[in-house]
Amino acid sequence: MKFRILMALLRKELLLMRANPFVLRVVLALPVMVMLVIPLVASMDVRNVSVAVVNLDHSPLAARLTAGIEAVGELNIAGGYDSYAGAIDEVERGRADVVLTIPRGFARDFSAGRMPSLDIAANGVNATKGATGASYVAGAVSSTLAAVAEAEGIVLPEDAPAMFNLFNPTLNFRNYMIPGLMVMLIIMICGFLPAMNIVGEKESGTIEAVNVTPVGRFTFVLSKLIPYWVAGLIVVAEAMLIGRVVWGLAPLGSVCVLFLAAVLFILVMSGLGVAIANVSSTILQCIFVMFACIMVFQLMGGLFTPINSMPSWARMLTLAVPPRYYIEIMRSVYLKGSSFAEIWTQFAALAAFAAGFCALAAATYRKRA
C-alpha cells in the first residue's frame, strides 16, 4: 500500500526527468568533464624551478652537485654566482626561485667524513613553489652526496638528511586530487539536485497538491532521494572508471569499501540538501545556503589543504565537517589500500552524520504551515 504510493511517486519523478533531461545530462556529463579536465589543470605539482647556485667552494664535488640538480626534471640552473648578494639579485628579478649556497671548504669537510652544512634559501612569494622547489633541491643534493660517499667509501654521520614520500612515491598531485574530485562530484550532484527539485516543487505549487493528500512525509522525501542515490552511485562508478582508464589510478584497496563509503556520504549530502530545501522557500535562497555549506566543506574538509597544517582550533572544527571523513577514506583506500578495519572510525563518523542529516531532513519536512 505504502509501497505502491512510493512507486507512483518515483514513477512521477522519472517521468519528470524524462520531460526535462537536465538532471540526466548533469549526471552523465558532469563527472566526465570534471574527471577529464580538472586533473589536467588543477595540478599543484611544481615544475620549472630555477636554482641559483652560489659556488664558494669551486671543487669538483660542487660541480657534481650542480650537475645533480640539473639532472632533476623539475629543476634548472639559473646560473652560478660568486656571492650570495648576486644570487639574491636574481631572485628579486624573478629569474630564480631557490638559492643553493655551497660554502668554502665543503669538499674538504665532506671527504673528512664531517657533514658540512649547505644553505638552501627559497623565494617565499610563491610559497608552494618555493617550499617544494627547496625540497627538490635538498633531495637532489642528498642523493648526489650519498652516491659520492658510497663510491669513495666515506662514512656519513647518522643524522644525514634523508627524505622519502610514503604512499604517493612520485608525489604526484593528480593521484591526490582524483579521489578528492569524486568527493566534490557527490557534493554537487547529491546535495544540490534533490534540494533544487524540492524547492522547485514549492515554487510551482505542486508540493501543496501533494501535501493536501494523505501521502506520508517519509514516503514523499524518499521519493525525492532515491533517484539521486542512484545518480550518486552512477557518478561514483563513472568517476572511478575514468580515473582508472584515463589517469591509470586504480584503488589499492577494495572497491566495495569505496562504494560503502560513497553510500554513506551520499546519504549525508542528500539529507543535508533536503533539510536546506525544506526550510527555503525559493531556489535562490536554497542555493545560497547550500553554497555557504559547500564552501566550508571544500575549504575545511581537507580537499585542497591538508587538515594537519591547520591551527588546532580549526582542526577541532573539521571534526564537524562530514566530507573530511569521506576524503580520508577515499585517499587512504585509493593510495594506501587501507582495509575497512583500519578506517572504521571514519566510517562510524560518516554513518553518524548520515543518520543525523537524514533525521534532520525528515524532521524539517512539514505538511502543515
Grid cell of 346 as nine digits? 571514519
Which helix (H) or strand (E) segment holds residue 53: the answer is: strand 49-55
Handedness of CA 95, 98, 104, 109 (dihedral sign): negative
Q: Are 175 and 45 in contact (CB under 8 A)?
A: no
Residue of 215, 283, 287, 352 interacting with other proteins (CB under 8 A)? 215
If one asks whether residue 155 binds other proteins (CB under 8 A), the answer comes out as no
Q: Min. distance of Cβ 6 from other proteins in angstroms? A: 10
Does residue number 4 form part of the binding site for other proteins (CB under 8 A)?
Answer: yes
Helix (H, G, I), strand (E, B) or coil at 54: strand
Q: Are 366 and 277 in contact (CB under 8 A)?
A: no
41 scored as a contact of other proteins (CB under 8 A): no
Quick one: which of 33, 26, 35 has its CA closest to 182? 35
State the nearest-atom distance from the C-beta of 203 to other proteins, in Å.
11
Residue whose C-alpha cell reads 505542486 in the numeric block: 206
Task: Figure out which of the listed residues 12, 104, 114, 244 binds other proteins, where binding follows CB under 8 A.
Answer: 12
Q: Which is nearer to other proteins, 172 or 211 (CB)?
A: 211
Residue 93 vs 368, nearer CB to other proteins: 368
Q: How far apart are CA 253 and CA 257, in angstroms?
A: 8
Q: What are phi and psi of 362, to 5 degrees?
A: -70, -35
Residue 222 lies near other proteins (rule: CB under 8 A)? no
Site for other proteins in 174-213 (CB under 8 A): 204-206, 208-213
Which amino acid would we find at residue 201? E
Q: How far apart are CA 153 and CA 271, in angstroms?
A: 65
By the rule CB under 8 A, 16 interacts with other proteins? yes
The count of residues interacting with other proteins (CB under 8 A) is 25
**Closest approach of Cβ 27 to other proteins, in Å?**
18
Question: Is 1 a residue that touches other proteins (CB under 8 A)?
Answer: yes
Decide if residue 15 touches other proteins (CB under 8 A). yes
C-alpha cell at 194: 534533490
368 binds other proteins (CB under 8 A): yes
Q: Are 327 and 184 in contact (CB under 8 A)?
A: no
DSSP-based three-state secondary structure for 251: coil
Instruction: With contacts defined by CB under 8 A, name the span among 14-22, 72-80, 137-145, 224-232 that binds other proteins.
Output: 14-22
Q: Over the Cα atoms of the chain, what is R_g? A: 28
241 phi, psi to nearest 5 deg: -65, -45
Task: Please identify, using beta-carbon distances, which residue of 1 and 163 lies nearer to other proteins.
Answer: 1
Q: Is 8 in the site for other proteins (CB under 8 A)?
A: yes
Residue 3 sits in the site that holds other proteins (CB under 8 A): no
Do residues 369 and 207 make contact, with C-beta atoms less than 8 angstroms apart? no
Query: Is residue 25 involved in binding other proteins (CB under 8 A)?
Result: no
- Could you say which of 73, 153, 157, 214 contacts other proteins (CB under 8 A)? 214
Closest distance between other proteins and the C-beta of residue 18, in Å?
9
| Residues of this chain that bind other proteins (CB under 8 A) | 1, 4-5, 8-9, 11-12, 15-16, 19-20, 204-206, 208-215, 367-369
